[in-house]
Copies of this chain bind each other. A is one copy, B any other.
Amino acid sequence: MKSTSLRLIPLFLLCAAHLSAQNNLQKVTAFRKAHEQQIIAEYLKFVAIPDETKDSVNIPLNTAYIVDMLAKRGIHAELLKPASGNPVVFGEVKFPGATKTINFYAHYDGQPVNPKQWSPGLKPFDPVFITTPIEQGGHIINYTPGMAVDPEWRLSGRASADDKAGIMCIINAYDALIQSKLKPTYNLKFFFEGEEEKGSPHLGEIFRKNKDRLASDLWIICDGPRHASGKKIVVFGVRGDVNMQLTVYGPKRPLHSGNYGNWAPNPGLMLAQLLSSMKDDQGRVTIKGFYDDVVPLSEAEKAAISKIPPVEASLKKELGIAQPEGGDRTLITGFMQPTLNINGMASGNVGAQAANVIPTKADAVLDLRLVLGNDVNRQIQKVTDHIKAQGYYITDKEPTDEEREKYAKIIRINHDAGYNAQRTPMDMPVAQSVIKAMQSTVDYPVILTPSSGGSLPLFIFEKELGAKVITVPLVNYDNNQHAENENVKISFLWEGIETIAAIMQMK
């Protein structure tokens, strides 16, 4: 709608708006360049604070640091606490004449870390600069404070990309505007969550408790990576997500594989057979009804998808993949479907600690991504029903002796609460404003996608607050998010500051 009416605006007005935006962008960039050392120093300290969601010792250090960063910019922030769990850091600034409000979201907690899996010299909470990813031949830079930071460098550390980068860009974009005497066009709210990587179990509670304070015309979610082509992207939806933990049981104690081989059931084999029954060799989930409730894409969504530049050829090369799952399906097409991913599986030992035993159990963690139409509980039930149909007795606790005596195949299934997918229509006026603001910062067409592959609990924003939500990812796509050697490319931080500043001033 807005895109149609735009055609009626005289060309000189468009140009004037464009020139003004360009001018403002230059001021923001100039401010950043002048303050790079302070911005980097502040960010290094931020990433160095351990932030695994469950780390109750260090989580308060993160929130205190964020409150302090906001205070330095003149923003009074406070903690919105759930009955139990990690608080949200919330701040608010009003501007004379502004009638509408944007709420900026990012999260300060990070995924669990296994320091042993990080490359030598890289540590999750001891951030260092690297020339390029270590796996691609990069090396650690002998950085000392005050050194010029090359925008091609990357900063390595847990949450350096996901999602402390969001907080850093939002805060510094605000700083750059205010210090450059540029006025935001919206009242601004800042909402930094601390339980996103655990599935945001208390977000609904915090929303319900603070409904009025959190009211806004739009939430901008800064999370997830930019497009694999490196281009800026606006994401109108996210997949839902839920994790399931499966444990299959063998003998009560580990057994010598010779003295019990061909007699005691092997839980590793049982788990392999079970997981194998869930997907075919094209990666299509074979669980009954798995794709049945997916809402088809609108014509506008299909059109946007068709314009997304192809990335598959370069991704295949970069990732060493000869044949993706699903054959010729594009990456983005796959995002429009639910997934069943094996996050991890384990039974006994491999490598140097491998021993000739029949292990006692085999574990797997599944990640289910959901799309519009899926319901998280229904999706869990489909998987559970499938497991039951394979002859399993299902429990949510360690099996008792009585259960072991009665059932040949026992599985323990646990899952977190999870949440559904969310999607915002692309043609809403406020959506068009965001697109225009972002477009003003680059000279290529910004990519628009109906949904990211990743997940955020945006479903709850709609449900509890009636909010409109648009996601603006800021970081490089090859950031090893959720894994070892997580990193953020410095140029993406700088561009992120520009992106957010443009949105804060959008018409």
Contacts and interface: CB of A to CB of B under 8 A. Distances in A.
Interface of A: 54, 111-114, 133, 135, 224-225, 239, 241, 243, 245, 249-266, 268-269, 271-273, 275-277, 279, 281, 283, 316-326, 329-331, 334-335, 337, 339, 341-359, 362-365, 367, 369, 399, 401, 404-408, 452-455, 477-478, 480-485
B265 A283 contact: yes
Contacts of A112: 349, 352-355
Nearest to A238: B258
A164 B365 CA distance: 39
Given A331-B260, A349-B114, A341 B356 contact: yes
A447 to B, nearest CB: 14
Contacts of A276: 269, 272-273, 275-277
Contact of A455 (B258, B318, B323, B401): B258
Contacts of A135: 252-253
Given A273-B276, A454-B256, A251 B319 contact: yes
B359 A344 contact: yes
Contacts of A399: 320
Contacts of A485: 253
* Assembly stoichiometry (copies): 2
Pick the most buried of A239, A262, A323, A477: most chain B CB atoms within 10 A of its CB: A262
A453 B259 contact: yes
Contacts of A318: 252
Contacts of A352: 54, 112
B484 A254 contact: yes
Contacts of A477: 259
A343 B322 contact: no
Contacts of A341: 257, 261, 266, 356, 358
Contacts of A258: 239, 241, 339, 367, 369, 452-455
A323 B408 contact: yes
Nearest to A352: B112
Nearest to A267: B342
12 contacts: A114-B349, A252-B320, A254-B483, A262-B335, A275-B276, A322-B404, A344-B347, A344-B355, A345-B345, A345-B348, A346-B346, A346-B351
A322 B239 CA distance: 41
Contacts of A254: 480, 482-484
A266 B342 contact: yes
B319 A253 contact: yes
A165 to B, nearest CB: 14
A483 B253 contact: yes
Nearest to A479: B256
A243 B356 CA distance: 8
Contacts of A408: 322-323
A354 B365 contact: yes
A325 B264 contact: yes
A19 to B, nearest CB: 36
A324 to B, nearest CB: 5
Nearest to A250: B321
Contact of A357 (B252, B266, B275, B483): B483
A319 B346 CA distance: 21
Contacts of A281: 273
Pick the most buried of A279, A319, A323, A325: most chain B CB atoms within 10 A of its CB: A319
Contacts of A273: 272, 276, 281
